[in-house]
Homo-oligomer: A and B are copies of this chain.
Amino acid sequence: MPTAHTMPMEMLTRKLDSITRLGEAERSALLSLPHTVRSLPARHDIARFGDRPSHCCLVLQGWVSRYAALSDGDRQILSFYVAGDMPDLQSLHLHRMDHNLATLTACVIAFIPHDELRPVLRRHPDLADALWRDTLIDAAHYRERITSLGRRQALGRVAHVFCELYLRQRVVGLATGPSCPLAPKQSELADALGLTSVHLNRVLRTLRQRKLVTLTGGVLTIEDWDELVTVAEFDPTFLHQDNDAPAIHEAAKIA
């Protein structure tokens, strides 16, 4: 079985398969994209506010976060990315970064030059559409986060993000049973959910006591999927995993 390191672009076709239907021409165009693979340490900025990136990046291993830094030193984590995600696609059309992109854990990341990607997208408009769609799904995730922050209280917010991160990993094969990796530390989850790490910790205790989920040592274990979904008011529509509906509906049975 090829490792992420040896077949980077295969990671991408697999991800895109979950959200769209690629033709053979598009698939092979993707697989032959020039790219550079780099290993980065944890907590390393990939792109900073104000930068003008010249490459898109594809996560092969590890977790990446997108975050905004506020003047008072606070930060808001906007989203998490796992293997298969292209967190930086937007830089193709938004030339100046309005936030930061950084590794959360040690990562292996493939960098694809804009100048190589652009002509390929011109020759394969279906591929361009697939990537456009990917950025629109990213936006759908943002919308769901807004709803969480605006209208759910802490318990629901945490339950909701756990549902999301578990399913997103299931779809790309990073979770099979009731458990999945969950790299963000409590303080990072808190920064993503608009909570303090102190309060997040209390919410985790509640979830543990109510036997819904457990988070220990970077592993999330779902103990009662149905109840978790209820607490979160979770509806997977926003994931737009049209091609993987079964994977999502199976979650209820397995976890």
- Tell me the complex Cα distance, A154–B193, Å: 17
Decide yes or no whether A129 CB sits under 8 A from chain B: yes
Contact (A146, B93) CB under 8 Å given A139-B138, A240-B98 = no
CB neighbours of A140 from chain B (8 A): 94, 98
Q: List the 8 closest pairs (A to B, CB-CB), nearest first.
A: A150-B194, A142-B142, A149-B149, A139-B139, A93-B133, A98-B238, A76-B147, A76-B150
Tell me the bound Cα distance from A109 to B96 in angstroms: 32
State which size class the interface on A falls in.
Answer: 35 or more
A90 in the interface (beta carbon within 8 A): yes
> A222 → chain B, closest Cβ, in Å?
21
Tell me whether A233 is interfacial, beta carbon within 8 Å.
yes
Q: Is B132's CB under 8 angstroms from A70's CB?
A: no
Query: A142 CA to B98 CA in the complex, in Å?
Result: 12
Of all chain B residues, which has the CB nearest A99? B143
Q: Which residue on chain B has the smallest CB distance to residue A156?
A: B70
User: A150 and B149: CB pair below 8 A?
Assistant: yes
Which chain B positions have C-beta within 8 A of A93?
129, 132-133, 136
A75 and B147 CA atoms in complex are apart in Å by 8
A122 interface residue (CB < 8 Å to B): yes
**A233 and B71 in contact (CB under 8 A), knowing A93-B129, A193-B150?**
yes
A202 within 8 A of B: no
Q: Point out the residues of chain B lying under 8 angstroms from A55, CB to CB.
A: none
Residues of B within 8 A of A136 (CB): 90, 93-94, 135
The interface residues of chain B lying within 8 Å CB-to-CB of A94 are: 133, 136-137, 140, 240
9 contacts between A and B (CB under 8 A): A68-B144, A70-B151, A78-B146, A93-B129, A94-B136, A122-B125, A128-B128, A135-B136, A150-B193
If A76-B147, A139-B139 are given as contacts, then 13 extra A-B residue pairs at C-beta distance below 8 Å, sorted by A number, are A70-B233, A90-B136, A93-B132, A95-B242, A96-B240, A96-B242, A98-B143, A125-B125, A132-B135, A135-B135, A138-B139, A149-B149, A150-B193
